[in-house]
């Protein structure tokens, strides 16, 4: 299953785990309560996987591409990673499927604490529109991820503060989620 935890306050290298001491794990249920959903798939067969096909069909994820985040392969690697690690939100869900390597997605909980989600090969995650989050590589400095989207992709990120958007208000007040 997925591993997630509350982060410490240290400013040291953000590619380190940043667990509290003692560790305070966050369960899948707690992630669901803030609108984050997760599947474990077989990334070795992503091109023909019927389970992935079904998720895509059920949820309307018509668009996909693959991003390789590697110093030698990604144009403007440093700038992009810097952007990804700025706390931001999107007006649509962020859907990522890790095909190789490792990554951290950090999301804010209701009390504005950072939760770090450790993603490895085969992990598919959806972050709801309007949630504040950020992304970083781990100490292994490499990942390859499928980016999914409903319809034409919109990559625009709004750095915090971005509370004026309806989708942010909707996310923040959504009563379908537990308190
Ligand atoms: C985002 O908006 O946070 C990202 O696209 C993260 C990098 S994609 C693996
Ligand atoms: Ni994002």
Q: Which pLDDT tens digit goes with each residue over 73-106?
A: 999 999 999 999 999 999 999 999 999 999 999 9
**What pLDDT band is residue 179 in, cutting at 50, 70 and 90?**
low
> What CATH number is given to the structural domain containing 119?
2.60.120.10
CB of 142 shorter than 6 A to ligand 1: no
CB contact set of 145 (below 8 Å; sequence gap of 6+): 66, 67, 69, 96, 97, 98, 99, 103
Q: What is the pLDDT of residues 91-144, one digit of tens each?
A: 999 999 999 999 999 999 999 999 999 999 999 999 999 999 999 999 999 999
Report pLDDT for 178. 62
Cβ of 85 below 6 Å from ligand 1: no
Binding site membership of 145 for ligand 1 (Cβ less than 6 Å): yes
Q: Is residue 88 part of a domain?
A: yes
pLDDT interval class at 146 (50, 70, 90): very high
Q: Is residue 177 part of a domain?
A: no
Instruction: Look up the ipTM and state it.
Output: 0.94
The per-residue pLDDT for 176 is 56
Residue 176 lies in a domain: no
Does a structural domain hold residue 145? Answer: yes
Residue 32 confidence (pLDDT) = 97
**Distance in Å, CA 57 to ligand 2 centroid:** 23
Does 33 reside within a domain? Answer: yes
CA nearest ligand 1 atom 1, residue: 84
Instruction: Report whether 85 contacts 136 (CB < 8 A).
Output: yes
The 10 Å CB-count burial string (b at 16+, else e) for 88-112 is bbbebbbbbbbbbbbbbbbbbbeee
Give the nearest ligand 1 atom to 127 CA: 3
Which residue puts its alpha carbon closest to atom 5 of ligand 1?
84
**pLDDT tens digit sequence for 51-77:** 999 999 999 999 999 999 999 999 999
- pLDDT category at 177 given cuts 50, 70, 90 is low
Please give the average per-residue pLDDT across 152-156, as a whole number.
Answer: 98
93: domain range? 3-171
Q: Which ligand number lies closest to the CA of residue 129? A: 2
- CA–centroid distance, residue 145 to ligand 1 (Å): 9
* Its pTM surpasses 0.95: yes
* Gap between the Cα atoms of 131 and 108, Å rounded: 7
Q: Does some domain include residue 113?
A: yes
Domain count, the chain: 1
């Amino acid at each position: 299953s997925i591993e997630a935890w509350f982060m410490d306050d240290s400013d040291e290298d953000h590619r380190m785990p940043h667990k509290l001491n003692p560790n305070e794990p966050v369960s899948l249920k707690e992630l669901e309560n803030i609108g984050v959903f997760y599947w474990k798939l077989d990334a070795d067969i992503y091109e023909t996987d019927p389970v992935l096909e079904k998720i895509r069909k059920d949820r309307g994820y018509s668009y996909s591409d693959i991003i390789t985040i590697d110093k030698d392969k990604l144009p403007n690697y440093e700038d992009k990673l810097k952007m990804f690690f700025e706390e931001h939100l999107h007006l649509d869900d962020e859907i990522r499927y890790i095909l190789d390597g490792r990554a951290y997605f950090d999301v804010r909980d209701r009390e504005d604490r950072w939760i770090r989600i450790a993603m490895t090969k085969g992990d598919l995650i959806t972050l709801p529109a309007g949630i504040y989050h950020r992304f970083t590589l781990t100490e292994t400095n490499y990942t390859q991820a499928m980016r999914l989207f409903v319809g034409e992709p919109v990559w625009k990120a709004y750095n915090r503060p971005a509370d004026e958007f309806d989708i942010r208000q909707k996310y923040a007040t959504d009563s379908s989620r537990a308190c």
